[in-house]
Structure formats: C-alpha cells, structure tokens
Amino acid sequence: MRLIERLLLLLRFVSAFGPRGVAIAWKLYVGRPGKVVSVTLPGGHRVFVRKRTSDVAVFRNAFLERESDLMVYPQGASVMNRYKEILAHGRKPIVIDCGAHTGLSTIFFVLLFPKATVVALEPSADNFELLRRNVGGHKTVIPLRAGIWDKKTCLRIDNQTAEPFAYRTAECSQTDLGAIPALSIPDLLDRFPDGDPLLIKIDVEGAERALFRSNTGWLERTPLLIVELHDWLLPWGRTSADFLGCVAGMRCDFVIRGENVFVFNWAARGEDSRD
C-alpha cells in the first residue's frame, strides 16, 4: 500500500471513529498477522478481529463503508417501520445472517435492530470460534455452526487454505470427514413460530446458486434481502442466475451498495410482493 493510500485510509478511520481511529488502525494493521485484538466501537461495544487478515477488510466493510446500512436509502425507513410493526403485534422480528464470518455484520444488525432475534450461521470452525466471542454478550443472537442451502444436508469446506472470509462450501455425505450441517431458510424460520422475517443477509461465496434454486417461498415475505453475488469469482457458472430469476417476478427495489445487492421487497410496505 502506497503512502498516499495509507494516509487516505487513516483519514477514513478518523472520520468514522474520531481521534481514536488512529489507534484502531494501528491495532488492525501493525503487528503479528492473526493476533486477535479488540476494537471498541462508538457506543462502547467491543469486537474482536484478527489483525492483518481478511478480518480487517470485513471490519472496514461493516463499520467504515457500512455496506449493510439500509438506512442510507429511503426504503430503509419502510424496513424500520416494519420492524416496529412486528414488535407492536407482539411478535419477533427475525434477522438471518448467512455467512456471518466472525459476526461483525451480525453486530451491525444487532445495533440497528436491538429487539430482533438474529440467527448467525457460519460453517468454518475458526471463524465460528471468533463469532461466538463477538456475539457472546447478546442474548438476542443465536450463533449456529452451519451452512445455508436449499434443503437440510451436509457440506464440506472446499478451500481450507483460503483467506477466512473466502471459504466455499460444497454438498457432501454426512459420513465425510469434516461434514458440516446445512439448513434452509424455511428450516430456520420454522424455529420461530412467533416471529416474522425482517432481513436476510447472504454472503456465501457462490453457494447462492444452491440456495435460490428451490424452496424460495420465504422471499415473498422478507422485507429486505442483502446478498453478495459471486459471478466474478466463479465465471460462467451461472451462480446468480437462480437468484435473478427469483426476484425478477417480485415487486421490489433493487439497489447496489459496495459489494452488496439490496432487494427492498414491497412486503416492507405491507403490499403484495407479486405483480
């Protein structure tokens, strides 16, 4: 990284965190790679990050670029109103974070929707260990070491030597070494008969192809879907084709922010999501 790039990055940390941004940047970028350090966010919440690893990029996406921040768009107000309506009816707003990594995106959603139940799924053992530390003080968070698929099955991690934010999964037999359970979105929602879906975030390194190929009725009643697509990672694999087919017939607003695609469903406005 050139000097000018380092200075610009430092200014972004200071803009986000005030004078403390200098110390936070030092913690994340200087020293032994992989060492777990704690960072205190505005408001006093503490998160754990492995310095000089891909965790730092995830931290920046969550808390500097705020790539999951729906409230920067007018449609975000409708999602927030839907959150309040669910609570007013005595029900639980459900947020599902698929591919939660170490839980930084999970924490972002917890801070935004403090009374929602947040389910955080992460298949990797090393990421999941840190996820549990990051969400440990939040009773509204349910961490699950599991993958997401269009059905109950088992998965394996195909690229164990990749950076921690880039693990990819593939279906396997229950008897395979290292097999990890996988659930579908309906499996998860069925666990909360007193809840209604509010937001589902999906960053699963290409597994969206399996997730959206079937069993997608949950889309029509989910006010907001945030998904990262991976055609750039898996060229000519039609990774996003089924996702695009699913949302093509929906009444929704489609917004791109950084690496994320926001699908604001008309269900957030209390209207039918189908034309």
Stretch 90-95: mean pLDDT: 98
pLDDT at residue 1 is higher than 70:
no
pTM of the entire predicted model: 0.95
Which tens digit of pLDDT belongs to each residue from 110-138?
Answer: 999 999 999 999 999 999 999 999 999 89
Residue 172 to residues 22, 34, 194, Cα–Cα distance (Å): 45, 30, 33
The reported pLDDT for the residue numbered 163 is 86
The SS3 of residue 163 is coil
Give yes or no for residue 65 having a pLDDT over 70.
yes
CA 46 to chain CA centroid, nearest Å: 18
Stretch (H or E) spanning 81:
helix 74-88
The band of 275, judged by pLDDT with boundaries at 50, 70 and 90, is: low
Average pLDDT rounded to a whole number, residues 44-72: 95
All structural domains of the chain with their residue ranges: 3-63, 70-269
Statement: residue 162 has pLDDT above 90 = no
Give the per-residue pLDDT at 90.
98
Q: pLDDT averaged over the chain?
A: 95
Place of tokens 């006010």: 223
According to the CATH classification, is domain 70-269 in 3.40.50.150? yes
Q: 82: closest CA among 93, 98, 71, 68?
A: 93
